[in-house]
């Protein structure tokens, strides 16, 4: 007979969730997770951390630093005493938490902040907004951090990836290893990302990308 500890046996596996509704059926707001939203009505930039708190630690602080006092901020934070990742990591292309979607619906720039595994100091930047992705990577490189944009494990090009569910259907995400989510490195990275976000947006009608995508990729 195999005896398991009651606590781990009772922890749901987030890999079985197909949507936020599944997570909310298994986990309780206020006990297992919290949602924190700061609206900046003058800004159409949203900084989001869908795996914040103790799920991907350090991403709450980074997202807050990037948003500063001027950009919209969304945090979905794990607050369980343990097993936060296992119980609360709703993968990004299934992350349809309604308050998050409502916030980013009005935002033309969406940047998601994530923590990834890995022992080296590379950052991985992805997302369907390749212009924003490349601006972020360039800013990070200028701050002397290795930022890769292609050929890595985190392309974030799925249309339902939460970073791509803002007003334009295209956003960006940054994956940071543990070593860069704290201290001076995190400060420098937040400053670099903020600088990239303050760049003037490209001159492009808001709807043209959607039309182009429909014409070139009807199934997409
Ligand atoms: Zn994540």
Q: Ligand 1 centroid vs 196 CA: distance in angstroms?
A: 21
Specify if 101 maps to a domain. Answer: yes
Distance 95 CA to ligand 1 centre (A): 10
> 7 falls in which pLDDT band (50, 70, 90)?
low
> Is 90 within a domain?
yes
Cα of 6 vs centre of ligand 1, distance in Å, is 27
17-44 residue pLDDT tens: 999 999 999 999 999 999 999 999 999 9
Calpha distance 113→163 (Å, rounded): 9
Ligand 1 centroid to residue 203 C-alpha, Å: 31
Calculate the average pLDDT of the chain.
90
Can you give the pLDDT at residue 200? 58
User: If you measure from the C-alpha of residue 3 to the centroid of ligand 1, how many angstroms do you get, rounded to a whole number?
Assistant: 32
Model pLDDT for residues 159-207, shown as the tens digit of each residue: 999 999 999 999 999 999 999 999 999 999 999 999 999 865 554 444 4
Identify the domain containing residue 169 by its residue range: 6-216
Burial of 2 by CB count in 10 Å (0-12 exposed, 13-18 middle, 19+ buried)?
A: exposed
Q: What is the CATH number of the domain that holds 133?
A: 3.40.630.100
Note the pLDDT of residue 201.
55
Q: How far is the CA of 30 from the centre of ligand 1 (A)?
A: 20
Give 68's DSSP letter.
T
pLDDT score of 210: 46
In a domain, 79, yes or no: yes
Say if 1 falls within a structural domain. no
User: What is the tally of structural domains in the chain?
Assistant: 1
Which of 48, 41, 49, 103 lies closest to 69 in space, CA to CA? 41
């Amino acid at each position: 007979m195999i005896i398991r500890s009651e606590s781990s046996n009772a922890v749901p596996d987030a890999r079985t969730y197909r949507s936020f509704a599944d997570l909310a059926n298994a986990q309780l707001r206020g006990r297992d997770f919290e949602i924190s939203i700061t609206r900046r009505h003058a800004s159409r930039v949203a900084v989001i951390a869908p795996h914040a708190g103790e799920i991907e630690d350090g991403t709450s602080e980074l997202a807050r630093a990037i948003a500063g006092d001027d950009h919209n901020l969304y945090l979905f934070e794990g607050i369980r005493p343990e097993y936060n990742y296992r119980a609360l990591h709703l993968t990004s292309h299934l992350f349809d938490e309604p308050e998050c979607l409502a916030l980013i619906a009005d935002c033309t720039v969406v940047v998601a902040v994530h923590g990834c595994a890995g022992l080296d100091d590379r950052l991985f930047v992805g997302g369907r907004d390749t212009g924003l992705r490349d601006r972020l990577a360039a800013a990070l490189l200028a701050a002397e951090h290795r930022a890769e944009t292609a050929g890595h494990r985190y392309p974030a090009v799925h249309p339902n990836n939460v970073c791509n569910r803002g007003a334009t259907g295209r956003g960006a995400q940054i994956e940071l290893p543990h070593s860069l989510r704290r201290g001076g490195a995190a400060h420098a990275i937040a400053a670099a990302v903020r600088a990239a976000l303050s760049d003037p947006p490209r001159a492009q009608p808001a709807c043209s990308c959607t039309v182009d995508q429909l014409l070139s990729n009807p199934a997409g």
